[in-house]
C-alpha cells in the first residue's frame, strides 16, 4: 500500500526534523477518517484538531461562542485556534512523520479570511491576527512538507454535518459551508488565493465516509507518482 511505503521509505532524515503533512479540507470532509487510516502504520504521530481545548478554555466553550456570536467572539476564538495549532506544529515527537489535522496556514488563509470577508473581524482585529501569523511563520518551526486536500462538495459536507449533529455546528448555515469551500478551492486547488508553498495532493473525498478508505487505496499509485520528491523511490 502507498501509505505504508510513504511512511517507511521517505528520506525524512535529510530534513533534520519530522516530515510534516497537513490534512486540509472543509468542515466534514473526512479528515478524522483519513488520519485514523494513517495512524495504523505506527511510525507517524497524528495531531487531531484540539476540539477539547476549543470547547473548554478554562471553562469557556469558545467554539460554541464563536458559532453563536461570531461578531463578538471571532477574534477570541481564532486567537486561541492559532495558539493550539502552533502547539501541534512545534510539539517534539520521536516518530519520523507528523500528521496535522489542519494547520496555522489554513487557520489564517481559510478561516480568518472567511471571518474577515463576512465582517466578523474588524480591520484592527484582522491585522493583529495577521501579524501574529507572520511572526509565527518567521520565528517558529511550522514548516509543512505536503498538504493533503480532501476535496468535497459543499452539499456533501453539509449533509455530513447534519448527520453527526455536533452541538456547536447546529447553527452553521449552508452558505457558510459553501463559501468556506470556495476559499479552500482558491487556496489549495486553483492556487489563486495566498501562497501555497508546498505541493498539494488532492483526494476526491465525496464518497461516503464508510467507503473512503477504499478511495485512499485506489489513489495510492497516483499519490506515489506525484510525490517522488518526498519518497525514496
Report the range of poorest mean pLDDT among 31-35, 178-182, 217-221: 217-221
pLDDT in tens, 83-120: 999 999 999 999 888 999 999 999 999 999 999 999 99
Most confident of 13-22, 54-63, 154-163, 203-212: 54-63
Mean pLDDT over residues 43-55, rounded?
A: 93
Of the pLDDT bands very low, low, confident and very high (cuts 50, 70, 90), residue 78 is very high
Of the pLDDT bands very low, low, confident and very high (cuts 50, 70, 90), residue 233 is very low
> How far is Cα 73 from Cα 63, in angstroms, rounded to an integer?
9
pLDDT at 12: 46
As a residue count, the chain comes to: 233
Pairwise pLDDT comparison (34 vs 117), residue with the higher score: 117
Which residues face 23 on adjacent strands? 101, 148
pLDDT in tens, 124-147: 999 999 999 999 999 999 989 889
Domains and CATH numbers, the chain: 26-230 (3.40.50.300)
Can you tell me which residue has the cell 489513489? 219
Can you tell me which residue has the cell 510513504? 6
Does the pLDDT of residue 228 top 70, yes or no? Answer: no
Task: State the catalytic residues.
Answer: 101
Mean pLDDT over residues 29-44, rounded?
A: 83
226, with CB counted inside 10 A (0-12, 13-18, 19+), is middle
Strands 19-24 and 97-101: parallel
- Rounded to the nearest integer, the mean pLDDT of the chain is 86
For a pLDDT cut of 70, what percent of the chain falls above it? Answer: 85
DSSP string computed for the chain: -HHHHHHHH--GGGGTS-EEEEEE-STTSSHHHHHHHHHTTSSEEEE---HHHHH-BTTB-HHHHHHH-HHHHHHHHHHHHHHHHHHHHH---SSSEEEEES-HHHIIIIIIHHHHHTT-S-HHHHHHHHHHHHHHHHHS----SEEEEEE--HHHHHHHHHHH--GGGTT--HHHHHHHHHHHIIIIIS--SS---S-EEEEE--S-TTTHHHHHHHTHHHHHHHTGGGS--
For a pLDDT cut of 90, what percent of the chain falls above it? Answer: 62
CA 190, 193, 194 angle in degrees (round to 5)?
125
Report the range of poorest mean pLDDT among 2-11, 21-30, 41-50: 2-11
Mean pLDDT over residues 157-184, rounded?
A: 91
Does the pLDDT of residue 164 top 50, yes or no? Answer: yes
Of the pLDDT bands very low, low, confident and very high (cuts 50, 70, 90), residue 175 is very high
pLDDT at 224: 38
Q: With contact defined as beta carbons under 8 Å apart, do 28 and 157 qualify?
A: yes
Of the pLDDT bands very low, low, confident and very high (cuts 50, 70, 90), residue 4 is low
Amino acid at each position: 500500500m502507498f501509505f505504508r511505503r510513504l511512511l517507511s521509505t521517505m528520506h525524512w532524515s535529510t530534513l533534520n526534523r519530522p516530515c510534516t503533512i497537513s490534512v486540509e479540507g472543509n468542515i466534514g470532509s473526512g479528515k478524522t477518517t483519513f488520519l485514523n487510516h494513517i495512524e495504523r502504520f505506527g511510525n507517524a504521530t497524528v495531531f487531531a484538531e484540539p476540539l477539547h481545548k476549543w470547547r473548554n478554555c478554562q471553562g469557556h466553550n469558545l467554539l460554541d461562542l464563536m458559532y453563536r456570536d461570531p461578531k463578538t467572539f471571532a477574534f477570541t476564538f481564532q486567537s486561541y485556534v492559532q495558539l493550539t495549532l502552533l502547539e501541534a506544529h512545534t510539539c517534539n515527537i520521536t516518530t519520523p512523520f507528523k500528521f496535522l489535522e489542519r494547520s496555522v496556514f489554513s487557520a489564517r488563509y481559510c478561516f480568518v479570511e472567511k471571518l474577515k470577508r463576512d465582517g466578523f473581524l474588524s480591520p484592527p482585529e484582522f491585522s493583529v491576527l495577521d501579524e501574529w501569523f507572520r511572526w509565527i511563520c518567521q520565528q517558529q518551526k511550522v514548516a509543512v512538507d505536503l498538504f493533503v486536500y480532501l476535496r468535497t462538495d459543499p452539499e456533501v459536507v453539509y449533509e455530513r454535518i447534519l448527520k453527526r449533529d455536533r452541538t456547536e455546528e447546529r447553527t452553521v448555515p449552508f452558505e457558510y459551508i459553501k463559501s468556506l469551500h470556495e476559499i479552500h478551492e482558491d487556496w489549495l486547488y486553483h492556487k489563486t488565493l495566498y501562497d501555497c508553498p508546498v505541493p498539494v495532493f488532492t483526494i476526491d473525498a465525496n464518497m461516503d465516509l464508510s467507503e473512503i478508505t477504499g478511495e485512499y487505496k485506489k489513489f495510492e499509485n497516483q499519490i506515489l507518482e506525484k510525490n517522488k520528491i518526498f519518497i525514496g523511490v
